[in-house]
Structure 1
C-alpha cells in the first residue's frame, strides 16, 4: 500500500490531501528504545521518513515507546514494564522470539502491539505505532492464536477453583470484544453491530476503565480468561 507523500512538518501536524481539500492530522510522537545502537538506528532510519510519526529522544506523556528486543530476558522484561507503565505512554514491542509463558505477561503489562523483528518494515512499524496510539491491539496472527490457546488453558484450569466473583461483562461488551479478538478495527466493529464508532469507543473505554485494563489486547485477554469469548 502506498503511503501519502511527505509534507513539511509544522507544529506537530501533517497535511494530507483528501478529495482535493487538505486535512490536518496529528503526528504520533515515537521514542525508539533498544539495548544496542545498531538496532536503534535501524528502526530510527526506517521511521525518519514517515510523515505519520515524529521521533523523540525520550518516551513520556502521549508518546509511543517502540522497544526492540531479540529475546525477553529478565532485563528486557524490566525495561518493558518500566516503559509500558510510564504515565501516558503506550508501547510497541519488536521482538525476535517470545515464549508461551511470556506472552500473557507482555499483554497484561500494557503492550498492545507486537511486531516480529523479521517483519519490521517501515510500513509494519508505523501500522503498529498507529494502533498503539489509538489504544488498539495489533498482534501477529500466530501470536493471537497462541494467546487464545494459553488463556483458554488458564481458564479451564481455574474453572473449578473458588475465588472472587467476576465483575462481569455486559452482552454488548462481549459482542465488541469478540470482534476485537477477530482483528476488526473500530469502524468494522461499528458496521457489524450497527453501532456508531463513538458507541464502540465508549464501550471499550467503559470496560477498560471499570476493570482496570490497559488496552484492547488486555481486554481480550481478560474476556478469554473469564470464558466470555
Structure 2
C-alpha cells in the first residue's frame, strides 16, 4: 500500500485528487495539508510514501516545504503546478522533488505518477520536461554566446565518458531509458548502467537532479 499526503491550499483541488486516488486499491490517502508548514508537520506525523505538493501556497510555500521534507527524508515529493503561473518549479526540483506534474494532466497520469515515484523512479514526462526547462532557462538564453563560451566547464563533466555524456543529454531532454536505448541502438540494461554511472560520478540523487545539472551545465541549448 502506498501512503499519500495531499498538499494544496485549495480544498476543492485536494478533494479532486482524493477522489481520483482513493478508488485505487494500492493507494491510501493518509492526510491533507493546506500550506507548506502544515505539510511538513503532517509528513512527520504520518510518514507518507509520496507527497503531492502544490508550489504556490500562503505562508511556507511548496519549495521550502519540499526542501525540509527531503532534508529529513520524510517522503518523496511530486510537485503539482499550473505551469503558466508557476515560476518556481525549477527551484522546487533543485530542492529535491522527485518529479512534477501539471494540474491539467489526465487522472490516469496522476495515479501513474504516484506509483512511479513510490517505486523509486523520477517522474519526467518528456513533453512537460521540455516546456518547463525552456521556461526556466529562458533568462540564461539571453546571455551572449561569448559569455556562455567563457563559462568554465561544469565540475565533474570531464569524468564522464563520451557515451555517458550522450546518455545524460538524452535523459535531460526527457527520454526514458527505453527511448534512450532505441536512440543509441543499445540495450536498455546498458542505458541503466550508464545512467547509474552518471549519477554516481556527478554525485546526483536521481534523474531529476541529472536534468537540472545538465541544463545548468549548458549541455542542452535553451528551447530544445
Quick check: 1:75 aligned with 2:60?
yes
- Work out the CA distance in 1 between the residues paired with 2:162 and 2:93: 24
| Superposition CA RMSD, Å | 3.2
Of 50, 63, 80 in structure 1, the residue corresponding to residue 24 of structure 2 is: 50
Q: Within 5 A, what are the aligned runs for 1:99-110?
A: 99=87, 102-110=88-96
Contiguous gaps of at least 5 residues in structure 2:
32-41
**Distance of aligned partners of 1:105 and 1:202 in 2 relative to their CA distance in 1, 3 Å threshold:** same
How far off its partner does 1:50 sit? 2.7
SS at match of 1:114: strand
Q: Within 5 A, what are the aligned runs for 1:188-199?
A: 188-199=179-190
What residue in structure 2 maps to residue 185 of structure 1? 176
Q: 215-224 or 190-199: which moved more? A: 190-199
SS at match of 1:93: strand
Report the count of equivalent residues: 198
- Work out the CA distance in 2 between the residues paired with 1:44 and 1:131: 18
Larger proportion of strand: 1
What residue in structure 2 maps to residue 129 of structure 1? 114
- Work out the CA distance in 2 between the residues paired with 1:109 and 1:29: 22
- Kept after mapping to 2: 8 A contact 1:154/1:225: no
What residue in structure 2 maps to residue 84 of structure 1? 70
How far off its partner does 1:92 sit? 0.8
What residue in structure 2 maps to residue 143 of structure 1? 132
Quick check: 1:34 aligned with 2:21?
no
- TM-score norm. by structure 1 comes to 0.69
What residue in structure 1 maps to residue 38 of structure 2? none
How far off its partner does 1:39 sit? 3.2
Contiguous gaps of at least 5 residues in structure 1:
1-11, 13-27
SS at match of 1:191: helix
